[in-house]
Chains A and B, each alone.
Chain A
Amino acid sequence: MTITRTESGIGPGGATPVAVQLTGIHKNFGPVRAVTGVDLRVTSGEIVAILGPNGAGKTSTIDIILGLSQPTSGRVSVYGMHPRKAITYGLVSAVMQTGGLLKDLTVRETVEYIASLFVHSQPTGEVLAGAGITDIADRRVGKCSGGEQQRLRFALALLSDPELVVLDEPTAGMDVEGRRNFWSAIRKDAEQGRTVLFATHYLEEADAYADRIVLLRQGEIVADGTAAEIKAMAVGRTVRATLADASEATLARIPGADTVEIRGETVLIHANDGDAVARFLLTQTAAKDLEITARGIEDAFIALTSDEAAGTGASR
């Protein structure tokens, strides 16, 4: 089952402007199907995490939103425009995972250069101060530490005062403290009404900083909801039993069942209410050797996003 976000769950009704709208997005790289039918609607002011393991299609999806790559099929619009147009208007910016900086420019020159390309950009001095890099403004980028470079990338992303900031694995390679500082800066920024969309493969990061989590697995969305909703999905029980000739369709109809897996004669049913599932299995089916185990948050994430789950899981 997929947690579907209802319209009523979003802000003050239909008046909220749509930041990103993806409709039926597919992206193939030759025979590789990186994104297989993603529908996503992000409204203004949301902080959304795209969570998934490596290869789930996070970067492909983000590149499409940024206009860096073209979907094989499907429609994408950013504030109602083509992504490239939204960028020329300074509505969207992104913080790159790595690279993206010239080693032989100074920090200040980098900011001046990028700022000069936008019609409206915030004053260089303010941007440097805001990112806490005033004291290294005259240092060559190549001589800055990884954390300092990341602060510079963040400063560049805010230059045009964008409505939407996209972050692709923004804290990869940061230490714990760097990560915490980075996110507190992002949160502070988002309080001013900026929309933030970030990709991560850290569950804790999505949990701690996003209003809404979109779980991606093998190029499709397997869950979409608030952190609390995803957690509720995560803290259930796994009921394991031996049951011959079980069918996914029948098992998925068991009251309270979230996901169903069949491995030969073994069935695994994940549910919030494990007792109800167990009661059903023992009274309504021929199930035996029943076992109920608590499921950790990590287990849930793995169950939802692992490759093995894709083939047999009834998570759709």
Chain B
Amino acid sequence: MSTIAPDFSQRRPPSLGGFNLTALKVEVRRLTRNRRTVIISIVAPVVFFLLFGLNRAYDSLAEGHGNVAAFVMISLALYGAVIATSFGGAMVSMERAQGWSRQLRLTPLSPVAYVVIKVLTALVLGACSVTAVYVVGAVTNKASMPTGLWVATGVSVWIGSLLFAAFGLFLGYLLPAENVLQLLGIILALLSFAGGLFIPISQFAQGVQDVAKWTPLYGLNQLVHTPLLGNGVDWTWVVNVFAWLIIFSGGAVWRMRKDTARV
């Protein structure tokens, strides 16, 4: 037996912990290939807008710098975006169940780079969702607001949906794969009602309103409508968003550490 001493000089670890665009591209393709995800996060908000945003009264009814149809469009874009980013984050539960996480631990990919890939993937789907609702809003010619506000509100919704990528990751590490998506759909529907995405929370009883203001979509929903309404920012909304961001990302990190612990 003759052996040649292995030459390690050509070898080195990857930069950025293994983060790269090929992996991101494959992840995005995989997420958008999931028919259920695409229907719930892109088709559903568009259909909701067509059903509820095109009320004849809405286009003539002024709301801040635009009209009510624009207000509804922003709400439904937010709804679609948070579903997209939550689902994107929650994909980790399926990866854990199928042993893919273990496979990845046999590669140079660092846990941080992995999470960055997951979050960016979720944000790509979120962008698709916002774009779809906004394009339909523009094409149907009902939603109206100054051009700058289309951009400002759209970008706010997209960036804001990052909060729910953290939420999805947290649940994805917390829950078993079989039911995480169904559960997420139900939780997000409830949070959307509580956050005032479907009907203004002023329509609820006072006691319900008091509770609703603490829920994670309330502050975000208020903030993304601020450019349209021009009514100024209430600091409690900002506190709401950052508090939930800390809770969700803290929870995700905690569960992830547990999951990847080398016991």
Contact A90 B108 (CB under 8 A): yes
B100-119, CB < 8 A from A: 100, 102-109
A-B contact pairs, 27 of them (CB 8 A): A12-B3, A17-B6, A29-B263, A43-B3, A45-B1, A67-B105, A68-B102, A68-B262, A70-B263, A79-B8, A89-B8, A89-B12, A89-B13, A90-B11, A91-B8, A92-B106, A101-B103, A102-B94, A104-B34, A109-B26, A113-B22, A116-B20, A116-B22, A117-B104, A117-B107, A119-B13, A156-B103
Contact A44 B107 (CB under 8 A): no
Q: Which 10 A-B pairs have the closest CB atoms?
A: A99-B99, A116-B22, A45-B3, A88-B13, A88-B108, A100-B103, A100-B99, A117-B107, A117-B18, A89-B11
A→B interface (CB under 8 Å): 11-12, 15-17, 29, 43-45, 66-70, 79, 85, 87-94, 96, 98-105, 109, 112-120, 156, 163, 193, 211
Residues of chain A contacted by B102 (CB below 8 angstroms): 68, 96, 99-100
Residues of chain B contacted by A67 (CB below 8 angstroms): 105, 262
Residues of chain B contacted by A112 (CB below 8 angstroms): 22, 26
A17 to chain B, nearest CB (A): 5
Tell me, in angstroms, the Cα distance from A68 to B263 when the chains sit together: 8
Q: Which of A45, A112, A116 has most B Cβ within 10 Å?
A: A116
Interface: B250 (CB within 8 A): no
Interface: B14 (CB within 8 A): yes
Question: Can you name 9 extra interface pairs (CB under 8 A) apart from A17-B3, A45-B3?
Answer: A11-B3, A12-B2, A17-B5, A68-B262, A99-B100, A102-B98, A102-B100, A119-B12, A120-B11
Name the residue of chain B whose CB is nearest to the CB of A97: B99
Residues of chain B contacted by A90 (CB below 8 angstroms): 11, 108
Contact A104 B30 (CB under 8 A): yes
Residues of chain A contacted by B94 (CB below 8 angstroms): 102
Residues of chain A contacted by B11 (CB below 8 angstroms): 89-91, 119-120
A266 to chain B, nearest CB (A): 43
Known: A88-B14, A114-B103, A119-B13. A103 touches B3 (CB 8 A): no
Residues of chain B contacted by A69 (CB below 8 angstroms): 262-263
Name the residue of chain B whose CB is nearest to the CB of A85: B13
Q: Which of A88, A89, A156 has most B Cβ within 10 Å?
A: A88
Known: A99-B102, A104-B30. A70 touches B22 (CB 8 A): no
B191 to chain A, nearest CB (A): 27
B221 to chain A, nearest CB (A): 32
Known: A101-B99, A109-B30. A118 touches B108 (CB 8 A): yes
B→A interface (CB under 8 Å): 1-6, 8, 10-14, 18, 20, 22-23, 26-27, 29-30, 33-34, 94-95, 98-100, 102-109, 262-263
Tell me, in angstroms, the Cα distance from A89 to B8 when the chains sit together: 8
Pick from A66, A79, A120: contact of B6, CB below 8 A.
A79
Contact B105 A68 (CB under 8 A): yes
Name the residue of chain A whose CB is nearest to the CB of B6: A163
Pick from B3, B8, B98, B262: contact of A101, CB below 8 A.
B98
Q: Which of B11, B105, B106 has most A Cβ within 10 Å?
A: B106
Tell me, in angstroms, the Cα distance from A265 to B192 when the chains sit together: 78
Name the residue of chain B whose CB is nearest to the CB of A142: B98
A57 to chain B, nearest CB (A): 15
Known: A102-B30, A102-B100, A118-B108. A11 touches B1 (CB 8 A): yes
Tell me, in angstroms, the Cα distance from A79 to B6 when the chains sit together: 9
Name the residue of chain B whose CB is nearest to the CB of A104: B30
Tell me, in angstroms, the Cα distance from A282 to B203 when the chains sit together: 101
Contact A105 B106 (CB under 8 A): no
A159 to chain B, nearest CB (A): 9
Tell me, in angstroms, the Cα distance from A193 to B4 when the chains sit together: 7
Q: Which of A105, A156, A211 has most B Cβ within 10 Å?
A: A105
Q: Which of A66, A99, A101, A102 has most B Cβ within 10 Å?
A: A102
A114 to chain B, nearest CB (A): 6
B28 to chain A, nearest CB (A): 11
B199 to chain A, nearest CB (A): 36
A160 to chain B, nearest CB (A): 8
